[in-house]
Chains A and B, each alone.
Chain A
């Protein structure tokens, strides 16, 4: 389609009889608004040259000619008739431009005709109708409160009260609450279990989602969530400040456990080694590690599931260059690493211990990737924080870091990811300081969540923040 509008069509539009023809053709042959029109369409829409019903039957706008893809083009050229209308979707082809053209006038005609159309046609509307079940109708009649979502609406944003150094939890919860797929899963109430209240973390998170998206604006206190975490992940209990990353891992693990324990058995199986619980569906990818023997160059490959990417930030070698962007970190992560002469590994081909290199490659990527920047370093029992600035992009293409397939298929996989949450840490060490979170809401609005205070932020602020944990969401979801 031409980038700018078609000048030929502008001329064509000026004559009202032209437009009348176009409107009529569209109503009869594209939409088939009523029975008589549809009859007409069935009888007449075939190629006048080859008598076939396709592919892509077009109607000439200058004379009574119908033709299939090849014949209409020939016809238009020979007779110098400029326009033809495609009859399946109603696209207009301009011979002078040599391509299909777009015009708002045509759009108006088609939307008007579609509205008048007696039967509903999916291809014309490109959406799926929803016929509510009796139960849903019942529920709808009880719910009379309407909420209108505008760019200004704050639905989905809730402050979280700090219960005494629980900002690590608050910031992670904010990020989880704004994970699109997780939100869809919990809001549609996919999880139901019979466990007594207060024992299932998944139920607790489910409740939280309901709280976040019910339109209320009073800050929440996550005491019951904290209690659950304390009882199930004892290493996180106590009133001390904890590592947000550890909390994230513990939460995901618990979610998985509680999902597995309470979900109905048949629907919860292991599909090709991948757990079917929601956490694993969203957060698990797999890493391929290739160990190459330096003696015989034999490769031994192992594939391990991965939850997140922990990326080193320190200089690579003594005095070497430190990475300064996320892509740098990832390159380093996937680079072949020499294991050293002290760490010899048994090579099966050589049947002896040999020096080798090890390289990580990403085999499959999860839908949500979390990058954990290792900002805390344990050095001689003292903890230091690495505050190197690491730049990270809003859109990330992971294709360079994927393990290469044998053949590059024609239909490519898509590895583009977009940023949707960033956790930041201020302060000098792991056990002090403060965590805040940036979250994306309604596609392109950013908010900073600092315990119970939520302020609007812009993308630059987010991208210029230090970054401790970065959350990326896959842009195009594939089918399985």
Chain B
């Protein structure tokens, strides 16, 4: 296992699907806020501008990622931050009930 991941964090990721939950949350928020559509448009523009040579997915990722990151709404970042904080706080408590949602 990667060293950075504390055993307890792993337990959380493991038992409660914490990682999945957070990932789903972020995914939903990004769709709702219109971020996804904006990035789609940006990709479209990048492809059109590149002319005859169609860029590969990796090239697209390289050009779009920095701009797309900057575009993530602050509200989404805040919510994600809060969510992670909640998870970590709950980890500190007790031997970790099976479901942390009702803690």
Contacts and interface: CB of A to CB of B under 8 A. Distances in A.
A99 interface: yes
- The B interface is mostly helix, strand or loop, or mixed, namely helix
Contacts of B34: 478-479
Contacts of A32: 20
Contact of A476 (B27, B37, B45): B37
Contacts of B67: 410-411
A411 to B, nearest CB: 5
A407 to B, nearest CB: 14
Given A479-B33, A479-B34, A53 B41 contact: no
Contacts of B45: 412
Contact of B27 (A53, A100, A122): A122
Interface residues of B, number: 29
B24 interface: yes
B65 to A, nearest CB: 8
A1 interface: yes
Contact of B13 (A42, A100, A123, A410): A42
A52 B39 CA distance: 25
B102 interface: no
B42 A412 contact: yes
A51 B2 contact: yes
A271 interface: no
A121 interface: yes
8 contacts: A38-B17, A38-B20, A51-B2, A51-B3, A123-B24, A412-B41, A476-B37, A478-B34
Interface of B: 1-4, 10, 13-14, 17, 19-20, 23-24, 27-28, 33-34, 37-39, 41-42, 45, 54, 56-58, 61, 67, 71
Given A42-B14, A73-B58, A411-B38, 15 more contacts: A1-B57, A43-B14, A98-B56, A100-B57, A122-B24, A122-B28, A123-B23, A410-B42, A411-B71, A412-B45, A476-B41, A478-B34, A478-B37, A479-B33, A479-B37
